[in-house]
């Protein structure tokens, strides 16, 4: 059974006579551990109908570019092949999501969709709910504990949300059983693009092509599962003590797969938990509490991508210190080109530009320096969001927006007052040098990026 807390009818319309049940896949781009897919399979079996999975490829997703589309489309080709082995037709169309799903659902008895938290994702589902002539049901599958089940308003901090999540974990840390479909849908005739040819699809979309695809990370469900196995066998034991050291490699590398829904956070959580490792607890804190704090943030704060989302104390202190003298000031062009006086920051920027990721601890330092080196804090916020969304594979994500906001004081507390930062937490290069082998980090980035 899929827990009722994960299920939400979006338009109150009933199912009707139709030729199939349609799963509108957008956020959860996977065939495994997918509550929405399995809920749709149940509804199809109840009606003795086949199940069709539909994906709309739109070329105007906010801030997405070639780097993101390449990773997504290669991943979808893997998902399509896995679904085919289950007897499920995968249909991909180019177009505007609301119009496309309405056309795809013309002969559907019912439409099921997964849940997305960003403004654009919510808008698609809201408009589709009014457009469809049959029921539209949303099933939440990209968090462990459903957002409103944990808390029905914005959490001030992780400390506030953590006990709420822990109180419900036992009810939701349960595997997702894969259903056997009564009816095969492979032969259903529908207009579609060929998902097995991601290169051709990439050429067909009109998108920003300035950020190139990455080569170090293979997209797709199979690669995500392999990456998880490597983390469990080689890195998890060191995660608890060494995860913050950017010169080492004890992070999971799972964030791009989680962003595109190519792996389930529930599957990851259960696999980590079953190891019994002492490092399981700090990892699950990041995967569940911190990640789901970001979902709570974008769900309940309508200005999640703007300076105005910050707590009043942070906005006031940053504006009060906006005129403070800054020892270093850089233009957007200089920052984007990693041309600053700071070799550690330059290495972090280079890592982001060439690999689409950055070590988590350096991501905090990187953001703090953008705040410090940009004359106006509100402009610094816009610049940070711009870089985050454009270059990170896991950009344009609740985690990215929450991380950017944290740089400026969100989900944090006031600290001792100082120039430029006011009462917002400060970080500096001396702190990096005391804790880590920063020359080793710079060297590693040069080896990986040829910089």
Over residues 60-83, the mean pLDDT reads: 97
Claim to verify: residue 249 and residue 328 sit in the same structural domain: no
Claim to verify: residue 422 and residue 314 sit in the same structural domain: yes
Structural domain count of the chain: 3
Judge whether residue 399 has pLDDT over 70. yes
* Residue pLDDT, tens place only, 406-423: 999 999 999 999 999 999
CATH of the domain at 98: 3.40.50.620
Claim to verify: residue 35 and residue 63 sit in the same structural domain: yes
Q: What's the confidence (pLDDT) of residue 240?
A: 96
Rounded Cα distance between 283 and 316, Å, is 34
Claim to verify: residue 373 and residue 253 sit in the same structural domain: no
Length of the chain: 451
Q: What's the confidence (pLDDT) of residue 313?
A: 98
Q: What's the confidence (pLDDT) of residue 451?
A: 65
Does residue 346 lie within any of the structural domains? Answer: yes
| Averaged pLDDT of the chain | 97
Domain boundary among 300, 321, 336: 300
Are the CB atoms for 415 and 318 separated by under 8 Å? no
Tokens at 37, concatenated: 């897919």
Claim to verify: residue 280 and residue 319 sit in the same structural domain: no
* Residue pLDDT, tens place only, 128-152: 999 999 999 999 999 999 999 999 9
Does residue 356 lie within any of the structural domains? Answer: yes
Share of the chain above pLDDT 90, in %: 98
Q: What's the confidence (pLDDT) of residue 212?
A: 96
* Residue pLDDT, tens place only, 257-280: 999 999 999 999 999 999 999 999
Claim to verify: residue 349 and residue 263 sit in the same structural domain: no
Rounded Cα distance between 362 and 11, Å, is 44
- Range of 32's domain? 1-141
Domain boundary among 300, 334, 351: 300
Are the CB atoms for 328 and 374 separated by under 8 Å? no
- Record the pTM: 0.98
The CA R_g of the chain, rounded to the nearest whole Å, is: 22
Q: What's the confidence (pLDDT) of residue 381?
A: 98
Over residues 169-175, the mean pLDDT reads: 97
Q: What angle do CA 177, 46, 185 make, to 5 degrees?
A: 80
Q: What angle do CA 423, 425, 427 make, to 5 degrees?
A: 135
């Amino acid at each position: 059974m899929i827990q009722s807390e994960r299920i939400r009818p979006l338009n109150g319309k009933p199912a009707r006579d139709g030729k199939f049940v349609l799963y509108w896949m957008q956020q959860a781009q996977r065939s495994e551990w997918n509550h929405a897919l399995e809920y749709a399979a149940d509804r199809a079996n109840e009606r003795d109908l086949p199940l069709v999975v539909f994906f709309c490829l739109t070329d105007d997703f906010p801030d997405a570019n070639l780097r993101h589309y390449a990773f997504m489309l290669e991943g979808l080709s893997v998902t399509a092949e896995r679904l085919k082995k289950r007897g499920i037709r995968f249909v991909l169309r180019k177009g505007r999501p609301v119009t496309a799903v309405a056309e795809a659902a013309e002969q559907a008895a019912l439409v099921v969709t997964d849940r997305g938290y960003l403004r654009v994702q919510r808008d698609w589902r809201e408009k589709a709910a009014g457009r469809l002539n049959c029921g539209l049901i949303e099933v939440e599958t990209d968090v462990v504990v459903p957002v409103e089940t944990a808390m029905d308003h914005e959490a001030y901090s992780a400390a506030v949300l953590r006990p709420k999540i822990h109180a419900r974990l036992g009810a939701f840390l349960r595997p997702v059983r894969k259903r056997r479909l009564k009816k095969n849908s492979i032969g259903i005739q529908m207009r579609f693009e060929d998902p097995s040819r991601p290169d051709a699809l990439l050429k067909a979309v009109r998108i920003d092509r300035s950020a190139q695809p990455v080569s170090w990370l293979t997209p797709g469900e199979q690669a995500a599962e392999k990456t998880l196995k490597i983390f469990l066998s080689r890195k998890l034991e060191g995660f608890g003590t060494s995860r913050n050291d950017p010169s080492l490699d004890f992070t999971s590398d799972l964030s791009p797969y989680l962003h595109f829904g190519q792996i389930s956070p529930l599957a990851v959580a259960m696999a980590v938990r079953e190891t019994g490792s002492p490092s399981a607890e700090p990892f699950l804190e990041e995967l569940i509490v911190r990640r789901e704090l970001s979902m709570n943030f974008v769900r309940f704060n309508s200005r999640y991508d703007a300076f105005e989302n910050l707590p009043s104390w942070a906005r006031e202190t940053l504006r009060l210190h906006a005129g403070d003298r800054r020892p270093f000031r850089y233009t957007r062009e200089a920052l984007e080109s990693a041309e600053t006086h700071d070799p550690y920051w330059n290495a972090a920027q280079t890592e982001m530009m060439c690999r689409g990721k950055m070590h988590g601890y350096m991501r905090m330092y990187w953001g703090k320096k953008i705040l410090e080196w940009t004359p106006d804090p509100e402009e610094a916020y816009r610049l940070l969001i711009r870089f985050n969304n454009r270059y990170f594979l896991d950009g344009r994500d609740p985690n990215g927006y929450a991380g950017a906001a944290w740089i400026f004081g969100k989900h944090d507390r006031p600290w001792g007052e100082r120039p430029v930062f006011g009462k917002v937490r400060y970080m500096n290069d001396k702190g990096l040098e005391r804790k880590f082998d920063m020359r080793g980090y710079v060297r590693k980035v040069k080896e990986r990026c040829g910089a």
